[in-house]
Amino acid sequence: MKKSEMINQPISAVIAGMGHLDELVIADAGLPIPPGTTRIDLALTRNVPSFLQTLQVVLGELEVESAVVAQDMLDVSPDTFKAIQALMADIPIEFVSHETFKQQTRSAKAVIRTGEFTPYANIILRAGVLF
């Protein structure tokens, strides 16, 4: 059995297969997932599991070099953005329009769908390297 916190097999497999600059999306319940993109659906009910819970666990497994969020998050869900900043410390965060964000999800290795109902609670994580 795995010793680390992450016990979800599909997420573990995606992270283990990622290389430098590959992207992984953590999404709220409403983000459209492009056809052909791997969907890891964790959503059970409203806000279960939450976006922030999922992000925290993924950050424990994935070396993240940078991240992308929709600019709208700053105005519509500022508390979520502050929580992201707290979890991500010195990891640079890029801001793009929500439309650009949705387009960028097409190249992600996978999208993890949470039960989050907070608007714009979505993030693209770019893999870093440990050396």
Q: Which residues are catalytic?
A: 20
> How many domains does one find in the chain?
1
Closest of 13, 5, 28 to residue 109, by C-alpha: 13
Residue 2: inside a domain: no
Burial tier of 131 (Cβ tally within 10 Å: 0-12, 13-18, 19+): exposed
Torsion angles phi and psi, residue 17, rounded to 5: -90, 0
Q: For residue 121, give the CATH number of its domain.
A: 3.40.1650.10
Question: Is the residue at 87 inside a domain?
Answer: yes
CB contact at 8 A, 29 and 100:
no
Distance CA 108, CA 104 (A): 7
- Average pLDDT on 8-14 reads 96
Q: Which domain holds residue 29?
A: 9-127
Strand partners, 95: 69
80 falls within a domain: yes
Residue 49, domain member (yes or no): yes
- pTM for the full model? 0.96
pLDDT in tens, 14-61: 999 999 999 999 999 999 999 999 999 999 999 999 999 999 999 999
